[in-house]
Amino acid sequence: MKFFKNIIALIICLQLTVPFVVEDCLRLPILVSHFIQHTYNHNGVTLIHFLKDHYLDKHQNEKQDDHGDLPFHSHSDFSSNQNLAINLEIKLFKFIPNYYFKEPQKIAFLQNYFSSSVLLSIWRPPKYC
């Protein structure tokens, strides 16, 4: 899934920076079918010869409708295109844990409330048996 997200992000960046690149890449099947058509019509046509005829030299049949659909064939004035600058700001947050310790309340008592003789009498055996 991450791979597809990266591919989509790359396509969007290409479309924003260099217009018509994605559109021309989507026309590559038209180029392949046009090459196959030329191989059937003219024997001995290689891919290099086909690309040289259609992209480097002035093609003799440029007026045909199918040549206008070839990718990277139309020339545009890229100086009039506006590029979009994307500013990505990444803020790093440092999380500092806040610990709130509630100190237990001390129970205040006086020693006078408990007589030591009463406490000690619990542990003595009975005197009057």
pLDDT digit string, tens, across residues 45-104: 887 887 777 777 665 555 555 666 676 666 554 545 555 556 666 677 777 777 777 777
Looking at residue 94, what is its pLDDT?
75
Per-residue confidence band for 33, with pLDDT thresholds at 50, 70 and 90: confident
Tally the residues of the chain. Answer: 129
Q: How far is CA 63 from the centre of its chain?
A: 43
Indicate the SS3 state at residue 127: coil
Sign of the alpha-carbon torsion through 105, 110, 111, 114 = negative
pTM of this structure: 0.41
Cβ atoms < 10 Å from Cβ of 69: 14
CA distance 81 to 75: 13
Token pair 């005197």: residue: 127
